[in-house]
Amino acid sequence: MTYNLEQNKPLVAIHCMVYNHAPYLRDCFEGFVMQQTNFPFVAIVHDDASTDNSADIIREYETRYPHIFKPIYQTENQHSKSGVSVVRLINEAIQKTGAKYIAMCEGDDYWTDPQKLQRQIDFLETHPEYSFCCHRFNILKDKEQLFIHEYGYKLYVPEQDLIIDEEVYFKAWVTQWLTTVVRTDLFVEVCNLTKNTFNRCLDVYIYFLLLQHGNGISLNQSMGIYRWTNQGASIGRTDFQHLTDGYTLNRNLFNIFPDKLQLRNRIKYYGMRLLGYCHIFRKKDRAFYKEHRQFCDNLKERSMALLIFMTPSFLWGRMRRIYSSFIFKN
């Protein structure tokens, strides 16, 4: 397949957010360089004022492959510490390229297949009804350098791609930023709905909004690695933050789409687990609990968390319905 291209414009712009990713950048950049396509593409590598030698590695690749690497060097941190929405940063960078498609890959992840971009663009060009194209990926647990099973692999049928509708999307983790290619105009339209308010769980929010414009597809080929790093946070605190992010995200989505039963169920799930963590921190981590007490109080209430942990497993189904009604009244 050949493509009609506007003069001096790439068909695909890869957005790569970097912050202190020096140990991983060569893997990431080699994944870009290896791509074999019949169309031009560029990599917008956005260094968010890294304090390690990430910028030096970026400059090395910019010198070696000037037709691919188009870096942005922030002198002050914009996203990783300052909280500027990555949506705004992506939009500002990508729209300047005039590319028809956006691909994503953060600096600590990497691609493994030289045909990745070609396969995804070929699909989207011939299937305009799909809102985005992903593919399977594997997970690398970084400290042990151990590959672990991908999430959602049981949903795939041999030699068939996976259609991603809302039911599949909420069933398993089959999407990932590093696997995604989406049309630029649709991405910009969807991102404008975020009002630049989401940083955490941004990809979850974006995928759900994209699904309102058509199903996604996940190609049944593993073509990338998601690196699962452990930053050494206290046990439980990181889980609590992830659950808080998930709870807040789904409540915000539910405010936009109140008829979505999947969102309602996910709010119940996150709320129940957070109640349990609030009780644990109240007993074992008073400083952290004090910091998040208002949030815990808003979940109605510490006593409900105690009941969760004291309830025998065979009664959990019944108790869940009770807890859920409390959570939804907040």
Residue 111 near residue 105 (C-beta atoms within 8 A)? yes
d(CA 78, CA 26): 23
User: Which spans in 19-165 are helix H?
Assistant: 25-33, 54-64, 86-95, 116-126
At 232, is the pLDDT very low, low, confident or very high (cuts 50, 70, 90)? very low
Q: In whole angstroms, what separates CA 102 from the centre of its chain?
A: 14
pLDDT at 281: 62
d(CA 194, CA 79): 15
pLDDT at 167: 85
Residue 288: is its pLDDT beyond 80?
Answer: no
Q: What's the full length of the chain, in residues?
A: 330
Give the residue, 260 or 36, on which the prediction is more confident: 36
Q: What percent of the chain has pLDDT over 90?
A: 40
Instruction: Single out the residue of 214, 159, 203 nearest to residue 180, CA to CA.
Output: 203
At 231, is the pLDDT very low, low, confident or very high (cuts 50, 70, 90)? very low
Question: SS3 of 164, please?
Answer: strand
Residue 34 near residue 111 (C-beta atoms within 8 A)? yes
At 166, is the pLDDT very low, low, confident or very high (cuts 50, 70, 90)? confident
pLDDT at 312: 47
pLDDT at 1: 60
At 316, is the pLDDT very low, low, confident or very high (cuts 50, 70, 90)? very low
Instruction: Single out the residue of 102, 3, 18 nearest to residue 54, CA to CA.
Output: 18
At 188, is the pLDDT very low, low, confident or very high (cuts 50, 70, 90)? confident
Helix pair angle (202-211, 184-192), 10° resolution: 110
Q: Which domains does the chain have, with CATH numbers?
A: 12-228 (3.90.550.10), 237-328 (no CATH)
Q: What average pLDDT does the segment 179-207 reach?
A: 77
User: Facing residues of 146 across strands?
Assistant: 141
What is the 8-class DSSP label of residue 69? B
Q: Which residue has the tokens 């909280």?
A: 83
At 327, is the pLDDT very low, low, confident or very high (cuts 50, 70, 90)? very low
What is the 8-class DSSP label of residue 44? E
pLDDT at 236: 54
Residue 267: is its pLDDT beyond 70?
Answer: yes
pLDDT at 253: 75
d(CA 36, CA 157): 27
Backbone CA torsion sign across 93, 98, 102, 104: negative
Give the residue, 83 or 15, on which the prediction is more confident: 15
Give kind and range of the element (H or E) at residue 191: helix 184-192
